Amino acid sequence: MPINWFPGHMNTTRQKLAAMMPKCDVVVELLDARLPASSTNPLLDELRRGVQGKGEEGRPGDLPCVTVFNKVDLADPPVTKAWRERFEKERSVRTVAISVNQPGESDRVVRLVKKFAPKRIEKGQKVRVLIVGIPNVGKSTLVNALRGKRVAGVGDEPAVTKGNQEIDLKNGVVLIDTPGILWPKFEDEDVGYRLAVSGAIKDTAIDYDDVAIYAARYLAEHYPNEVKGRFKLSELPDDPIALVNAIGKKRGCLVGGGEVDFNRAGELLLREMRAGKLGRISLEKP
């Protein structure tokens, strides 16, 4: 299932990011802790490379980046730990794992970004922080948590933020929130599926049946006990289609004649998986 979802405003966002990075001190990239590699934007390292920023030395260099593994409460802890180690080693970034909707956790991001510009803090200058990430990853929730009030749109659907917003936190940090940006084409089909399973792509742009089959196959292979426990299944069918049907029967997703409404059963599986009701599950492993 190739997925191509690159609205015009996202192409504009890419251009704006390239223009804004030299004006910033630090980039904060939010990832979905359940799928770090699939939710990172491969353009980011390219865009921040060799930036003539407002750093301490005043010379070109990779713009510092703090990579935030968000929704860590939904992800498999050992897998998240392994991903963080890989990111810090291979991409030369600092990482932090949080759930932005948990009180106080977002403050850890501010403390970390300030470490990249101590001289600006000493001089009373504001640290300008560019926040980037794919749709529906929690950027606006993070902004609102840091500010202490609602200043950025929040929603369960992707692509809520439509334009750049500058927010002065009144603590020496200015945040620049940007619309979520996905890259133009998913060369790896699995990436598209993982993003669809997580909710990063609007449900209107995907086929529930295909995505549910992908999710069922992955869960049966990597988290069979969680599936059996959640849906009260004594055994898991070998076939993912049969598994979705079994879940549908258990939850009453039926139509006339007792047949399973496959689309409804698939939607139920994805909804419960996204909400963490199956447990802490990572959708990819390093």
Per-residue pLDDT band for 12 (boundaries 50, 70, 90) equals low
Predicted local distance difference test score (pLDDT) of residue 202: 73
pLDDT score recorded for residue 233? 97
Asked if 8-177 and 207-274 have one fold, the answer is no
Lowest-confidence range among 61-75, 162-176, 230-244, 268-282?
162-176
- Model confidence at 11, in pLDDT bands (50, 70, 90)? low
- Could you tell me the fold of the domain covering 207-274? Conserved Hypothetical Protein Ylqf; Chain: A; domain 2 (1.10.1580)
For residues 67 and 164, give the distance between their C-alpha atoms in angstroms, rounded to a whole number.
20
Q: Is the pLDDT assigned to residue 261 strictly greater than 50?
A: yes
3-state secondary structure of 166: strand
pLDDT tens-digit readout, 52-73: 554 444 444 678 999 999 999 9
Per-residue pLDDT of 24-48, as tens digits, reads 899 999 999 999 999 987 778 888 8
- pLDDT at residue 162, as a whole number: 44
CB 39 within 8 A of CB 182: no
* Strand (E) or helix (H) holding 168: strand 165-168
Buried/exposed code over 229-249 (b: 16+ C-beta within 10 A; e: otherwise): ebbebeebeeebeebbbbbbb
User: What per-residue string of b and e applies to 35-68 under the rule 16 or more CB within 10 Å gives b?
Assistant: bbbbbbbeebbebbeebebbbeeeeeebbbbbbb
Task: Check residue 13 and give its pLDDT.
Answer: 65
Pick from 58, 57, 31, 60: nearest CA to 44: 31
Lowest mean pLDDT among 78-92, 134-148, 261-275: 134-148
How many angstroms separate the Cα of 128 from the Cα of each of 35, 56, 120, 156, 175?
27, 13, 10, 27, 6
- Average pLDDT across the chain, whole number: 83
* Average pLDDT over every residue of 137-147: 83
Q: Does 1 have pLDDT greater than 80?
A: no
User: For the chain, which residues make up each domain, given as ranges?
Assistant: 8-177, 207-274
Which two tokens mark 192? 């598209």
Residue 20 banded pLDDT, cuts 50, 70, 90? confident
* Domain 8-177 belongs in CATH node 3.40.50.300: yes
DSSP state of 170: S
Q: How far apart are CA 132 and CA 183, in angstroms?
A: 13
Residue 104 carries which DSSP code?
Answer: T
Over residues 209-252, the pLDDT tens digits come to 999 999 999 999 999 999 999 999 999 999 999 999 999 999 99
In sequence order, what DSSP letters do the residues of 33-83 get, joined into one string?
TTSHHHHS-HHHHHHHTTB--S-SS-S-BPPPEEEEEE-GGGS-HHHHHHH
The fraction of the chain above a pLDDT of 70, given in percent, is: 81
**Assigned token pair, 15:** 């251009």
Q: How many residues does the chain have?
A: 286
Asked if the model's pLDDT at residue 149 lies above 70, the reply is: no
14 within 8 A of 41, measured Cβ to Cβ: no
